[in-house]
Amino acid sequence: MTEPSLTTLDHVRRTVNGRTQRAERSDIGQFLTPVAIARFMASMFAPNQFDHVRILDAGAGAGVLFSAYVETLASEGRRPISIEVVAYENDSDILPELNQTMTHCEAACGKVGIAFHGEVRGEDFVAAAIAQTALVGVNEERMMIL
């Protein structure tokens, strides 16, 4: 991930925060992480030792947290072979930015030879997990597909 991409994400964060009321963001539990905090959090992971990395972002916003970690993985000496990201976001107004972040991550990974697969799910993670758990409990055949 390049500096301009993360700078763009910080601009997106400020823009979204500026166009919405704090109470609105609070009602849906939305907190858009600043790039500096995301990079700090990504730096706290131990150096990568896996060939295949899977990331779940349960409340992705514009995707700054997972993109900071993808940036970290792409810059390490021992890079993974593949990265898979599943990002949930229930605010439909920010989904275009989240999809754009996935595209940026895919391009950045491609430049260093990492296979990337990103999936955006425009729904609430907790509700989706509960629904999926209920389906698995009712239909064991479905569980095998998952």
* Domain enclosing residue 85, as ranges: 3-145
pTM of the model: 0.78
What letter does residue 79 receive in the DSSP assignment?
Answer: -
SS3 116: strand
Residue 146 to residue 139: CA distance in whole angstroms:
11
Instruction: State the CATH number of the domain containing residue 54.
Output: 3.40.50
Nearest by Cα to 94 from 13, 10, 27:
13
Which of 1-5, 15-19, 119-123 shows the lowest per-residue confidence on average (mean pLDDT)? 1-5
What are 76-98's pLDDT values in tens digits? 989 999 999 999 998 888 899 89
Answer whether residue 140 shows pLDDT above 60: no
How many domains does the chain fold into?
1
Average pLDDT over residues 102-131: 94
Answer whether residue 11 shows pLDDT above 70: no
The pLDDT assigned to 142 comes to 44
What's the length of the chain?
146
Q: How far is CA 45 from CA 11, 64, 145, in A?
A: 25, 16, 31
What are 13-71's pLDDT values in tens digits? 666 656 555 556 455 556 678 888 888 999 999 988 999 999 999 989 889 999 999 99
